[in-house]
Amino acid sequence: MSELRVGIAGVGVMGADHAERVVRKTSGARLVAVSDADQTRAEALAARLAGGSPYDNVRVVEDPLDLIAADDIDAVILASPGFAHAEQLFACLDHGKPVLCEKPLTMDAASALRVVEAEHKLGRQLIQVGFMRRFDPEYDALKQLLDSGELGRTLLLHNVHRNKTVPPSFRSEMIVRDSMVHEVDVARWLFGEEITRITVRTPKPTSLVGDGVLDPQLAVFELASGAMADVEVFVNFQVGYEVRCEAVAERGSATIGLGSGVFTRTGGQWGGAMPADFRIRFEQAYDLEVQRWVDATVRGEIDGPSAWDGYAAAAVCEAGIESLSSGRPVDVALADRSKILG
Amino acid sequence: MSELRVGIAGVGVMGADHAERVVRKTSGARLVAVSDADQTRAEALAARLAGGSPYDNVRVVEDPLDLIAADDIDAVILASPGFAHAEQLFACLDHGKPVLCEKPLTMDAASALRVVEAEHKLGRQLIQVGFMRRFDPEYDALKQLLDSGELGRTLLLHNVHRNKTVPPSFRSEMIVRDSMVHEVDVARWLFGEEITRITVRTPKPTSLVGDGVLDPQLAVFELASGAMADVEVFVNFQVGYEVRCEAVAERGSATIGLGSGVFTRTGGQWGGAMPADFRIRFEQAYDLEVQRWVDATVRGEIDGPSAWDGYAAAAVCEAGIESLSSGRPVDVALADRSKILG
Amino acid sequence: MSELRVGIAGVGVMGADHAERVVRKTSGARLVAVSDADQTRAEALAARLAGGSPYDNVRVVEDPLDLIAADDIDAVILASPGFAHAEQLFACLDHGKPVLCEKPLTMDAASALRVVEAEHKLGRQLIQVGFMRRFDPEYDALKQLLDSGELGRTLLLHNVHRNKTVPPSFRSEMIVRDSMVHEVDVARWLFGEEITRITVRTPKPTSLVGDGVLDPQLAVFELASGAMADVEVFVNFQVGYEVRCEAVAERGSATIGLGSGVFTRTGGQWGGAMPADFRIRFEQAYDLEVQRWVDATVRGEIDGPSAWDGYAAAAVCEAGIESLSSGRPVDVALADRSKILG
Amino acid sequence: MSELRVGIAGVGVMGADHAERVVRKTSGARLVAVSDADQTRAEALAARLAGGSPYDNVRVVEDPLDLIAADDIDAVILASPGFAHAEQLFACLDHGKPVLCEKPLTMDAASALRVVEAEHKLGRQLIQVGFMRRFDPEYDALKQLLDSGELGRTLLLHNVHRNKTVPPSFRSEMIVRDSMVHEVDVARWLFGEEITRITVRTPKPTSLVGDGVLDPQLAVFELASGAMADVEVFVNFQVGYEVRCEAVAERGSATIGLGSGVFTRTGGQWGGAMPADFRIRFEQAYDLEVQRWVDATVRGEIDGPSAWDGYAAAAVCEAGIESLSSGRPVDVALADRSKILG
């Protein structure tokens, strides 16, 4: 397989985002086709992607099951509504197509279990679920820290999950199924075991939400080994988006979601790690530099520091080296830019 | 141009990093060839890239000038030693090849100016210099904040540039030319004007460095409009890598490099912005999720949450919704994993 | 009353601390007497206080009830064991003596209620309980912020209460009665209403504690209006002492215990307030400066910057003003210290 | 000496603040008299202090030299204008009176040196200068950390000193003499050596200041051993009051003024220390609790948690202990407050 040919079923907010991602930010993959119940939306997306990026043509397929079956599609991203997942997942299994399925896997535990069983019967894992926090560098670093045993056994999680606002159609059950579900996966993943018991409590709701919506919610998870997690989910927090997780272990605690990597309290200290190296600190900058250079070059443009910027820096450094040896201020003698560059 | 065909001259630490980046993380570009004075190093890299990523073949070219001239190469990344840049840049200009040139542009101001003039004569900008901080999301956000005028005119920069250690061969002048040069570009770029005067002072050096190396250094830049910047460069800081920049303006200050985005002091408050949205917070997680799914799928594997993870989450959420309505703890009835999955 | 004459019953860790406080850091009060079941301990303390501070004589009284009854004692601090409180509080009420009583008020709710009733019958409030968090500047600022209504109604508290370690004799019930009790008071005080329901859960205990001790504990408080608080109490955290409280309200959250005043998330921002003024920032420094000057002066000494320090600063500033006008470095011509001061 | 009898010369903002401090917050001292060029101001202060605090009578003395000479005054605080200091300091020396003199010691280096010499001739140190940062707990902790040698030799200081605004009468020289002077003392004190050279630079001034005032200023201090400090002083920063000091040493850096104690970067980590103990964390709360209890008791009042608060906490804890053993939620059965307390 030289390049993975991908089809996306469902191109609402999340699916369109994934389509852009496959086209512009993912190497080794090519977006071949999209489908959506709203065909106009799918066509607009395909046109937009083609326009911005001449090296990709994306066709629109009417029926998602045809997309899944298509010979020129190696793998599928499901970003369709949750109620459509079961049928589409079974189709992926039938055609032996690897699939990245946005959460929820299906709408209830019974149908989800049937999917698990069908995949197991196939004898081959094809399904990945979109619990993308496991890929967040902060969560990943937290998981590594806990697994290292450095802090001892993990005892408790305190999780906070806040959205600025959600539409009025977002009901109490959706707070559990669409938001808290991420915390469910985080707890299972970080502890490496199943949740055996859950209590969801509802404090008196915020007044900034429609009648009958129980927001915020406060859940307690109990895990197989006796560990616990408490979780606040508050989807009308007004302030912004916030996801935070503090793991409390026998010899310290570690928090992520503060915007500064893994924040620990251990050994009598609070704090975090310094990057050892410029490549760690500036990895994203290098990636963006090269990607933007590629994109601008394809357009026949420069989108970054120019030769003049290189020259001006050289002139200042020369003066700096003179100042270094003399210990005195040195004027920078720069050529007249307007004479050189017109 | 369907895909940009890239050649890289020089595959030491930085060039090899760029080669990986083009192959694995950059969309719309393909790595066609590499060259290096150390041919063995170039061949090892080409082999490694081919092994990890079957969809890319990279050839090794002996002479960097041949690489620059090659018909199947649209654009060049120069990561060769600084002393080789001038000749290679002139070759790029001769062949009309866009080039991303690692700093320094050339070794001194006079030759750098000749490059600027040659490019200008060509009537077309082809050269971009590798001042990659301009692409760092934090620097970018700082630049936008300062340019917005929200804090008034910028008056001062306080910059800190620290490396954990550098090799003993790293001499006092290199601290200016290879490290401080980034601060030179940052000051020019953030203020949008030229530096007209520089003073470099040398406090009594750290004892953890070879004799005669003046480290740390303390520079003051004066800019055309009368603004100033002070810069600490300390390349044997022992602790880790740290780059920090505080801009002091008429109505507040803004600092980056603390690991938490743009930290401001303005309007009687200190702090930063909350992300409005999960896509901002988890953009990198989504990118990694899809990239790793693509890579694993090509290998015929799963590298993320499985169908079982999707099922287990569904089962917990179902119990949670029951607890939500009853207000009581609810046990999670999970199928027996070993019976289902064997 | 010119100066409050205080007696302290119980001079273990807390009582001895209060004794020092009254003698050395409290204006308008004088420590007249102490009592303790361990008479030797009381005598050692009295001697120590007299030695360090010539202006205070403290007598030792054998029976705490005699101390409470003494004519030359205006008010009492009770730092005796909790089981002794009830009898001593009734004695204070009988003698009309104001009393600051360390928590717990008494050992159970029934006896505490009898104390409340007895005081009420007296028609005069004499009893204050040692819930000292209400006096912590951070808690105080949090209370003011919540009461201001700026963040809307308070919905939830997340409290964390951690000790480095406690003695092996500290049993599960004591975690509730001696540690969690502070969180009980904090929740009642911040919400301004009573707690109507409590659930205490016990995750699998840390292995760094004796058999049978359930540590950490995770409690949920439900308040009269429907608001809630979750509380982690973990008295063998190993790392250090940590008390944290995050209040979640309709339009933002506010956290204290991070060591940086009230940390808020509101209006799309995270952060805190800058002090407006040097007296706020340096209030404690001024207090300490004057107190230490007084103490040193009484001893006939200097304990702070000397006249030479004042002179040296003046010399540097004079040179600085010259540099300000000339724009050049100016050498500081300091007199020869050894010639002047010998 | 049973209690130090203090007189204060000059009761403007700073002197009045010190008067309050001596009366209300300093143990072992009594304020006996004040004087001020503005007699009305002195009388108003004396009346106010007497009103608030029945146990202190303060008389007003017309001539500060009479105050210094008075038999019932053991020690003097000078908070008069700087130009009056020299004469008043000589008077203190003549009468052998210990004196805490607000900075500046005198108005220039020559007169300051005469004061030093006169005190030295007396053979007894009587003069302390009001460089109160040495008493700030954060500066004190920074000094201790640097002196411990843990970070190696200190190489550089980066100091920032910002005021929200100053009156228009605050001229460029005053920025040096009244603001930067604190940084002068901090540098001398932290390095433990004299400053030998100073350069003061003036970036283009903020537009939010009167014509001709050079604000901000950027100074570089060079110390005897070759260490250096750079200092930003910006007295019209608009945002608030900010004083920050970063010490850069051979094996790490330490910053204070961030509101979170000593923030270090060392050993590959950033962060700070956790308090070991509740007495460290809540020292100020205990001090305030007892002081406010004393003050309220003198007034015949309660100013803190009441007996009811003690009872309510006991009732919740009793229910908590029941929940701890049963694992179930337990209702809190509280007596009817209105029936008990009427």
* Confidence at residue D53, expressed as pLDDT on a 0 to 100 scale: 53
Sequence-separated (6 or more) residues with CB below 8 Å from residue D178: D104, D170
* Confidence at residue A292, expressed as pLDDT on a 0 to 100 scale: 84
Confidence of residue B53 (pLDDT cuts 50, 70, 90): low
Identify the helix (H) or strand (E) that includes residue C155. strand C154-162
* Confidence at residue D299, expressed as pLDDT on a 0 to 100 scale: 84
Question: Is the confidence at residue B110, as pLDDT, over 50?
Answer: yes
Question: Is the confidence at residue B202, as pLDDT, over 50?
Answer: yes
User: What is the Rg, in whole angstroms, of the alpha carbon atoms belonging to chain D?
Assistant: 26
User: In angstroms, what CA-CA distances link A209 with A150, A217, B194?
Assistant: 43, 13, 53
Does B232 sit within 8 Å of D250, measured CB to CB?
no
Separation of alpha carbons B256 and B112, rounded Å = 30
Instruction: Determine whether D61 is exposed, middle or buried from the number of CB atoms within 10 Å of its CB (0-12, 13-18, 19+).
Output: buried
Q: Is B276 part of the contact surface with chain C (CB cutoff 8 Å)?
A: yes
Could you report the per-residue pLDDT of C4-35, keeping only the tens digit for each? Answer: 899 999 999 999 999 999 988 888 889 999 99
Question: Is the confidence at residue B288, as pLDDT, over 80?
Answer: yes
C150 token code pair? 């700026």
Q: pTM of the predicted model, to two decimals?
A: 0.91
What are the structural domains of chain C?
4-130 (3.40.50.720), 133-273 (3.30.360.10), 283-341 (no CATH)
Does A219 sit within 8 Å of B320, measured CB to CB?
yes
Question: Is the confidence at residue B251, as pLDDT, over 90?
Answer: yes
Q: Which residues of chain C have pLDDT under 70?
A: 1-2, 51-56
Beta strands in D163-251 (DSSP E): 195-201, 217-223, 228-234, 242-249
* Confidence at residue C56, expressed as pLDDT on a 0 to 100 scale: 60
Confidence of residue D321 (pLDDT cuts 50, 70, 90): confident
Separation of alpha carbons A297 and D161, rounded Å = 46
Confidence of residue B79 (pLDDT cuts 50, 70, 90): very high
Mean pLDDT of D40-68: 86
Separation of alpha carbons C306 and D126, rounded Å = 8
Does C1 sit within 8 Å of D298, measured CB to CB?
yes
Separation of alpha carbons C256 and C85, rounded Å = 32
Identify the helix (H) or strand (E) that includes residue B307. helix B307-326
Tokens 């070794």 appear where? B107
Does D268 sit within 8 Å of A273, measured CB to CB?
yes
Percentage of chain D modeled with pLDDT above 70: 98
Bridge-partner residues for D33, per DSSP? D7, D59
Residues 212-231 of B with CB under 8 A from C: none
Q: Is A314 part of the contact surface with chain C (CB cutoff 8 Å)?
A: no
Residues 151-180 of A with CB under 8 A from B: 163-164, 172-173, 176-177, 180
Number of Cβ within 10 Å of residue A178's Cβ equals 18
Tally the residues of chain A: 342
Q: Which of C172, C233, C171, C235 is nearest to C208 (CA)?
A: C235
Separation of alpha carbons D87 and A32, rounded Å = 90
Separation of alpha carbons A236 and A244, rounded Å = 16
Say if CB D301 and CB D180 are below 8 A apart. Answer: no
Q: Which chains have 3 or more CB–CB distances shorter than 8 Å to chain B?
A: A, C, D
Confidence of residue B1 (pLDDT cuts 50, 70, 90): very low
User: In angstroms, what CA-CA distances link B243 with A122, B239, B294?
Assistant: 52, 12, 34
Separation of alpha carbons C265 and C255, rounded Å = 9
* Residue spans of alpha helices (H) in chain B: 13-24, 39-52, 64-69, 82-94, 109-122, 137-148, 172-174, 181-191, 278-281, 283-298, 307-326, 337-341
Identify the helix (H) or strand (E) that includes residue B64. helix B64-69
Does C242 sit within 8 Å of A265, measured CB to CB?
yes
Does B268 sit within 8 Å of C271, measured CB to CB?
no
Say if CB B56 and CB B6 are below 8 A apart. Answer: no
Tokens 């390349």 appear where? B235
CA nearest A31 in B: which residue? B294
Report how far apart the first and last C-alpha atoms of chain D are (Å, whole number). 51
Q: How far is CA A249 from the centre of its chain?
A: 26
In degrees, rounded to 5, the angle at the alpha carbon of residue C222 between the alpha carbons of residues C219 and C225 is 160
Smallest Cβ–Cβ distance between A242 and the set C206, C226, C265 belongs to: C265
Query: What is the identity of the amino acid at C99?
Result: V
Mean pLDDT of A257-274: 89
Separation of alpha carbons D249 and D263, rounded Å = 13
Could you report the per-residue pLDDT of A105-144, keeping only the tens digit for each? Answer: 998 999 999 999 999 999 989 999 999 899 999 999 999 9
Does D268 sit within 8 Å of A272, measured CB to CB?
no
Peptide bond preceding C216: is omega within 30 degrees of 0, i.e. cis? yes
| Phi-psi sector, A212: left (phi>0), alpha (psi -120 to 50), beta | left
Q: What is the sign of the dihedral through the CA atoms of A138, A143, A144 and A145?
A: positive
Chain mean pLDDT for chain A: 91
CA nearest D252 in A: which residue? A274
User: Which residues of chain A lie closer than 8 angstroms to C217, CB-CB?
Assistant: none
Chain mean pLDDT for chain D: 91
Between A158-167, B220-229, B309-318, the lowest mean confidence (pLDDT) is in B309-318
User: In angstroms, what CA-CA distances link D82 with A115, C314, D9, D15?
Assistant: 84, 12, 12, 13
Say if CB D143 and CB D266 are below 8 A apart. Answer: no
Percentage of chain D modeled with pLDDT above 90: 66
Could you report the per-residue pLDDT of B22-36, keeping only the tens digit for each? Answer: 988 888 889 999 999
Q: Is D270 part of the contact surface with chain A (CB cutoff 8 Å)?
A: yes
Separation of alpha carbons D189 and D134, rounded Å = 8
Q: How far is CA B157 from the centre of its chain?
A: 21
* Confidence at residue C314, expressed as pLDDT on a 0 to 100 scale: 85
Could you report the per-residue pLDDT of A149-206, keeping only the tens digit for each? Answer: 999 999 999 999 999 999 989 999 999 989 999 999 999 999 999 999 999 999 999 9
Q: How close B206 gets to chain D, by Cα (Å)? A: 6
* Confidence at residue A1, expressed as pLDDT on a 0 to 100 scale: 45
When scoring A199, A264, A269, A323 by the number of chain D Cβ atoms within 10 A, the one with the most, hence best to mutate, is: A269
Separation of alpha carbons A126 and A120, rounded Å = 10
How do D75-78 and C29-35 pair as beta strands?
unpaired
Query: Would the ipTM clear 0.90, i.e. be above it?
Result: no
Tokens 């808290």 appear where? A180
Separation of alpha carbons A174 and B221, rounded Å = 56
Question: Is the confidence at residue D172, as pLDDT, over 90?
Answer: yes
User: Which residues of chain A lie closer than 8 angstroms to B55, CB-CB?
Assistant: 1-3, 28
Mean pLDDT of D119-145: 92
Q: Is C268 part of the contact surface with chain A (CB cutoff 8 Å)?
A: yes
Could you report the per-residue pLDDT of D151-166, keeping only the tens digit for each? Answer: 999 999 999 999 999 9
Question: Is the confidence at residue D1, as pLDDT, over 50?
Answer: no
